[in-house]
Amino acid sequence: MGFVVDIFKSPQKVQGYYTSKKNKKAHVILKKKSNKIYADIGFEKVDDKYVIHMDSMDSRKLNKKKLIQLYAKSRLKFEIKRKNAKYALRSETVDKDGRIRIKIGVRGV
């Protein structure tokens, strides 16, 4: 989707469009790379879940469902690489409605 992704162990400030905007912090920050969005998008880890921080104007422009779907896909691929001795990516398809389907399997099975 054209973002530069930064991942932090401790939350960092998310750059908003308005300087007076509340100081939001996040562990994963998608830096704006084009003029299509106004501000960075942040994912703050709260317990075992992520809370999304984004400018209200950007939330109208971006497809949040697709953004979350792409994050889940990247996270899954990261976990597969991290445990590469055990798992392998078998296939990846995109349905007509935009759903991404990924099949993974245990190596050697």
Domain definitions of the chain by residue range: 1-62, 63-109
pLDDT score for 103: 86
Residue 20: band (very low, low, confident or very high) from pLDDT cuts 50, 70, 90: very low
pLDDT in tens, 86-96: 788 888 888 88
Q: Which residues of 30-67 are buried (b: 16+ CB within 10 A; e: fewer)?
A: bebeeeebbbbbbbbeeeeebebbbbeebeeebeeeeb
Q: pTM of the full predicted structure?
A: 0.57
Is the pLDDT higher at 32 or at 88? Answer: 88
Q: What is the mean pLDDT of residues 46-65?
A: 74
